[in-house]
Chains A and B, each alone.
Chain A
């Protein structure tokens, strides 16, 4: 039962343009959402998070948007850089959903120079 879904396995974007990665979730009890970035042979690295009391959080080139009614979040990267090429995972947790973080299956982003 996949509670966090990333329906796009891959995405290619030209350098300098915006990258938009999407994530959907099914559990309405989730109240904390995170994005992780993963390079090959490394563990996931935390990128940015958002709590359900907000609908937007920004950190430099990275912005996460949360639409609670649609159970959807997205990560915007602008401008995209070749070093952003990696697999991006969204994750979610909730105070009433146990102690674990639920991860999506990832989206592989390629930024073309």
Chain B
């Protein structure tokens, strides 16, 4: 079946603007994760959803970052007042159950100019 789909694949925005990044997980996967990967680093955890609720948002760096998953499927990561330090690849992953392997999308490369 289809894998995890992330749109857009690339996003360039100006400092201070608002962006939304979308993730469409594998059908039937209840667990959804957002990670951020900066150059030369491994993926860093941002937020985890089990169903519709954010079960763990401890990785969100500050209150400019917010994510939703209103119907327990598609998720949107929202970043307000973007800063140049937000530039990174934002990865979404889903899994069938908690603590089973994550299946990643190809990511959205965000560049803040």
Contact = CB atoms under 8 A, between A and B. Distances in A.
Q: Do A and B bind each other?
A: yes
Interface of A: 4, 6, 32, 34, 36, 41-46, 49, 89, 91, 93, 95, 98-106
B40 A105 contact: yes
Contacts of B106: 41-43
A45 B104 contact: yes
A32 B50 CA distance: 19
Interface of B: 4, 6, 33, 35, 40-45, 48, 50, 55-56, 58-59, 91, 93, 98-99, 101-107
A89 B98 CA distance: 20
A43 B33 CA distance: 13
B44 A93 contact: no
Given A44-B91, A93-B99, A104 B42 contact: yes
B60 to A, nearest CB: 12
B102 A101 contact: yes
Nearest to B102: A101
Contact of A100 (B50, B56, B91, B105): B56
A105 B42 CA distance: 4
Given A45-B104, A89-B43, 8 more contacts: A4-B42, A34-B101, A36-B104, A93-B99, A100-B45, A101-B102, A103-B35, A105-B41
Nearest to B45: A100
Nearest to B98: A99
